[in-house]
Amino acid sequence: MTQNENLAQLSKAGVAVWLDDLSRDRIRSGNLQSLVDERSVVGVTTNPSIFAAAISGSESYDDQLHAMAVRRVSVEEALRTITAADVRDACDLLAPVAARTGRDGRVSLEVAPGLANDTDATAAEAAHLWWLVDRPNLFIKIPATVEGLPAITSSIAAGISVNVTLIFSLERYRAVIDAYIAGLEQRQAEDPAASFEGIESVASFFVSRVDTEIDKRLDAAGADPSLQGKAGVANAQLAYQAYEEEFSSDRWKALEANGAKPQRPLWASTGVKNPEYSDTLYISELTAPDTVNTMPEKTMQAYADHGRAGTPVQSTYADAEKVLQSVSDAGVDLDDVFRVLEEEGVQKFVDAWDELTGSVKEQLEDKK
């Protein structure tokens, strides 16, 4: 089938197009395969909110839920069995993409968000999910909390590919890169013969949520309206500058010489929240080599229809610094913004996880 030209051009520019959604219906109906064939999709991300919507809104899970209800399995076991099955099937569907590209064809599954502030529990669940899905093109999503950083390191050292999620600040992003590199170094130190083959990582840097929070504070401060809708992109552009710097260091080159792959920046939260902004803003303005953009289907279809690449990210660093400085000068405490966004991000996923757990529990009881 013919690939959409706009998305194909985005791929040629070095941006891996991933779908930010998954359900059993997408897999069984052929919808996911059609997005791979026609929309240049080479990866999939999930989160508790996505699974909550998928399971509560479909009959495709009924037979499996009935079987588990009869067996009287726990809610937690049922939840992980269901989500792991969908992710495993998506991994199988994307296996040809993984074989072709060597880097993509990945599907992400998140550790329970309630563990975000527990290093040991996060690392243990990451290992369990890696074993449970048992597919080489899996990513385990670990939040970029302070407690999550050591879990990233230990997971990478164990050969588990990681999608680091909920990154908002440049400072935390550099700490995430350090955690990834430290994991590779630890793996090499523990076993000099250990291979880096197949170990991948992406760092999910959130974009639209930054604008939502900063725009609110700019409005409250009576700041220049022209600053609105600028900080999210500027923040991400400077993250790409950090990526270029960190992965050109001598420390990194020593690992790269032994076959290690750099941790790619992934632009997350790319659906526009403010209808006054271009619906392709967080794709067009973040076009750069060796990046991933994970998109809701609505955003993907918008770019397929009328998207165009904007100014190359590498030429935006000076302007991006000016934007963030202007936002700060207007009275917005950026450190507080990023702290609030991380706390809210974890809580939103916890709430979605609780909703998902409640939905599965209710359906198990109904199908006894």
- Residues with catalytic annotation? 141
Taking the C-alpha atoms of residue 142 and residue 162, their distance in angstroms, rounded to an integer, is 7
Query: Which residue, 210, 198, 199, 208, is CA-closest to 172?
Result: 210
Taking the C-alpha atoms of residue 242 and residue 49, their distance in angstroms, rounded to an integer, is 30
- Tally the C-alpha atoms within 13 A of residue 105's C-alpha that lie toward its C-beta: 18
Give the number of other CB atoms < 10 A from CB of residue 178: 15
Taking the C-alpha atoms of residue 4 and residue 360, their distance in angstroms, rounded to an integer, is 37
DSSP assigned state of 164: E
Taking the C-alpha atoms of residue 163 and residue 188, their distance in angstroms, rounded to an integer, is 21
Please report which residue ranges of the chain form alpha helices under DSSP H.
5-12, 24-29, 31-38, 48-56, 62-71, 75-101, 119-133, 148-157, 170-190, 208-220, 231-246, 250-256, 281-284, 297-306, 317-329, 334-366
Joined together, the tokens standing for residue 349 give 């996923």
Q: Torsion angle, CA of 318/324/328/329, rounded to 10 degrees?
A: 40
